[in-house]
């Protein structure tokens, strides 16, 4: 993989999802599909896309004639502070957004089959490279994309979100394989539909994914009556980019309500949202972030962490970060009284694990009260050693500490931990912690590290220090299918290769007629190869007879197979 300065900053847990781009596995037909889509996009989108699209193609090193190589893209992307990596199809949403936060474009390595040339439900290199890459050359939009990643990857998912992700991934893999059976696809679609109908209340991740879909993927910009396209899903889909600006689609002013509007990846969208400009996208994102546990903290944040069932971080007002799988807590309304993890946990400050507080120190979990103390007017984290001594809290001294919530901590003070003038921790020996007669910590359990903070100000998914926590995004068990082409398909691909070679020269001789004879005899249903061959032969007056045959064949296909009509018409328009 071609590294650049941006990629070198990626943490190990994201690198686990990166694969080598299987460039040598792209068939000549794959390159023809790429070329057709890109030429159509440039022809049409140069008139209807956001003004930065065409310039962005140039700046990001996207080739029109062949599938781009990640090496070349990364050499050019580094000039605008971004990078690109190849991944295997859909990756978990939180990982996708974290890549964005690091200014890395995630590119699904596969390319859509020819029968999905106008629209595909699966992420592919056309969608990612030709859709996302050109617009990130716009500094305002690139800033939004990065900020979205920073906020989005900290959103909590529900326990069912991952199951939904796996179902979407499975269906997309089947649909991207031209040899999948209709029954397999039907069963996967029904399973996905069942999950979508039974998700329950939408999680933070589900709602922010809606915002991502209606902006980054399917966004329009400008006015309701005269919008331009900037969403990658539209920029990479010939059919949907045309449909988006037709009367078939309802256009709605973009605002926070878009977070409540779901989407169906298997079909064209019935409505789209229009933002007046890129800075407005950040305003809506800020408003959404204010609703998240990331900024609300407290009991709401702990409930989100418990419901997720995954590793999370809760942040005290002192700056102490507690990272683990949160299993329970004591809450009264919006007040968080006590939190508890059930997994090996770490304690951090400023996203770095504190010395002596890694996984081995808290191998059985971590529990602590939160909140103000009785007899202390201000926030407990602001107390200095002298003030703590006046309260009887100094090393080796037996002491009792009462929280206003009713939690009582009794034991012998062993030490304290400060950072940047804030009290983070008090360590106790021979400690007992109780709440309304309930035993929360027993002296027999060993040393008690008590977090300090008037409140929990933030909660988000994932650990503050991923390396110390041992975070990894496991690569999905189901891989995208390595297409096993039939011998007939391989023979067709060989013809595409010869047509491509012919296009690179300045003579045709009798080769074009030979290729056409084999095409019409062995592959009469194929439409793209004859179109490419016609593009070459129409340059030569001596080939007029062959041109007429190719035109006639394409017109016959257009009339006999309505699903190809628009594709062939657009292809012929390119020749003119």
Q: Tell me the mean pLDDT in the region 407-419.
A: 97
Query: Mean per-residue pLDDT for 198-226?
Result: 93
Q: Give the E-state strand segments of 317-421 in sequence order.
A: 320-332, 335-341, 346-349, 352-353, 367-369, 398-402, 407-419
pLDDT at residue 508, as a whole number: 72
Question: Residue 250: beta bridge partners?
Answer: 271
Give phi and psi for 88, each to the nearest 5.
-95, 85
pTM: 0.88
Report yes or no: 12 and 467 within 8 Å, Cβ to Cβ.
yes
* Buried-state track 111-144, b at ≥16 Cβ within 10 A, e below 16: bbbbebbbbbbbbbbbbbbbbbbbbbbbeebbbb
Q: Which CATH number fits domain 7-287: 1.10.8.60, 1.10.260.30, 1.10.800.10, 2.40.50.100?
A: 1.10.800.10
Judged against a pLDDT cut of 90, whether residue 252 lies above it is answered with yes
Task: Yes or no: say if 275 and 439 are a contact pair by the CB < 8 Å rule.
Answer: no
8 Å CB contact between 150 and 294: no
- The answer, yes or no, to whether residue 276 has pLDDT greater than 80, is yes
Q: pLDDT-based confidence at 168, cuts 50/70/90?
A: confident
**What whole-number percentage of the chain has pLDDT above 70?**
98
Mean pLDDT of 48-74: 85
Residues 6+ apart with CB under 8 A from 310: 157, 325, 461, 462
Percent of the chain with pLDDT over 90: 63
Q: Do 318 and 453 form a contact (C-beta atoms < 8 A)? A: yes
Task: Bin 164: left if φ > 0, else alpha if -120 < ψ < 50, else beta.
Answer: alpha
**Mean pLDDT on 279-297:** 98
d(CA 378, CA 426): 17
Q: How far is CA 74 from the centre of its chain?
A: 19
Asked if 299 contacts 336 with a C-beta cutoff of 8 angstroms, the reply is yes
Q: H helices within 153-213, ranges in order?
A: 161-176, 182-197, 204-212
- Cβ proximity of 369 and 347 under 8 Å: no
pLDDT at 46 over 70: yes
Mean pLDDT of the chain: 91
Q: What's the CA gap between 188 and 167, in Å, rounded?
A: 7
Q: CA quadruple 156, 160, 164, 170: dihedral positive or negative?
A: positive
Domain ranges across the chain: 7-287, 294-467, 487-575
Whether the CB-CB separation of 261 and 214 falls below 8 Å is answered with yes
CA 300 to chain centroid: 25
pLDDT at 209: 93
Find the Cα–Cα–Cα–Cα dihedral 201, 203, 206, 212, rounded to 10°. Answer: 130
Pairing outcome for strands 250-253 and 271-275: parallel
Lowest mean pLDDT: which of 115-124, 221-230, 281-290, 354-363?
A: 115-124
pLDDT digits (tens, 9 = 90+) for 356-368: 999 999 999 999 9
Structure tokens, 205: 């991740």
What is the reported pLDDT for 223? 97
Which residue, 199, 446, 463, 116, is CA-closest to 305? 463
């Amino acid at each position: 993989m071609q590294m650049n300065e941006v990629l070198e900053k990626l943490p190990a847990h994201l690198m686990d999802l990166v694969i080598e781009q299987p460039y040598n596995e792209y068939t000549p037909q794959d390159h023809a599909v790429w070329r057709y889509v890109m030429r159509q996009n440039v022809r049409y989108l140069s008139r209807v896309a956001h003004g930065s699209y065409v310039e962005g193609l140039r700046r990001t090193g996207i080739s029109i004639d062949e599938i781009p190589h990640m090496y070349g893209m990364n050499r050019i992307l580094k000039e605008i502070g971004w990078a690109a990596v190849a991944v295997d199809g859909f990756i978990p949403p939180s990982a996708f957004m974290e890549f964005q936060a690091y200014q890395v474009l995630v590119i699904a390595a596969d390319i859509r089959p020819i029968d999905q040339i106008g629209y595909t439900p699966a992420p592919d290199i056309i969608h990612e490279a030709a859709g996302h890459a050109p617009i990130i050359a716009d500094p305002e939009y690139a800033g939004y994309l990065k900020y979205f990643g920073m906020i989005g990857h900290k959103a909590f998912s529900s326990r069912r979100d991952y199951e939904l992700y796996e179902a979407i991934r499975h269906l997309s893999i089947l649909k991207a394989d031209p040899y999948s059976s209709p029954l397999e696809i039907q069963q996967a679609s029904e399973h996905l539909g069942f999950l979508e109908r039974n998700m329950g209340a939408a999680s933070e991740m589900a709602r922010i994914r809606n915002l991502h879909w209606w902006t980054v993927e399917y966004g329009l910009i400008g006015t309701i009556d005269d919008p331009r396209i900037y969403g990658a899903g539209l920029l990479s889909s010939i059919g949907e980019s045309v449909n988006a600006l037709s009367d078939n689609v309802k256009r709605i002013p973009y605002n926070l309500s878009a977070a409540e509007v779901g989407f169906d990846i298997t079909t064209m969208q019935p409505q789209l949202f229009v933002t007046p400009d890129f800075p407005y996208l950040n305003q809506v994102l800020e408003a959404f972030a204010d609703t998240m546990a990331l900024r609300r903290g407290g009991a709401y944040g702990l409930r989100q962490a418990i419901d997720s069932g995954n590793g999370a971080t809760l942040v005290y007002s002192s700056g102490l970060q507690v990272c683990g799988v949160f299993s329970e807590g004591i809450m009264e309304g919006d007040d968080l009284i006590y939190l508890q993890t059930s997994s090996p946990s770490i304690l951090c400050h400023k996203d770095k694990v504190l010395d002596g507080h890694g996984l081995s120190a808290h191998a059985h979990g971590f529990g602590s009260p939160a909140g103000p103390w009785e007899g202390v007017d201000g926030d407990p984290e602001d107390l200095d050693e002298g003030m703590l001594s006046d309260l009887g809290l100094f090393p080796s001294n037996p002491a009792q500490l009462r929280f206003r919530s009713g939690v009582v901590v009794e034991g012998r003070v062993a030490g304290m931990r400060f950072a940047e003038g804030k009290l983070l921790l008090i360590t106790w020996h021979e400690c007992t912690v109780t709440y309304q007669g309930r035993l929360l910590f027993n002296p027999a359990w060993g040393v008690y590290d008590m977090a300090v903070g008037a409140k929990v100000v933030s909660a988000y998914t994932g650990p503050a220090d991923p390396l110390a926590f041992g975070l990894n995004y496991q690569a999905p068990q189901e891989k995208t299918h390595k297409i096993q082409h039939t011998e007939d398909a391989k023979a067709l691909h060989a013809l595409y290769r010869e047509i491509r070679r012919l296009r690179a020269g300045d003579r045709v001789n009798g080769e074009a007629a030979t290729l056409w004879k084999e095409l019409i005899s062995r592959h009469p249903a194929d439409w793209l190869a004859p179109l490419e061959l016609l593009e070459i032969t129409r340059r030569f007056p001596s080939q007029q007879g062959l041109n007429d045959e190719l035109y006639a064949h394409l017109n016959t296909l257009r009339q006999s197979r309505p699903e190809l009509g628009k594709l062939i018409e657009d292809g012929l328009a390119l020749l003119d």
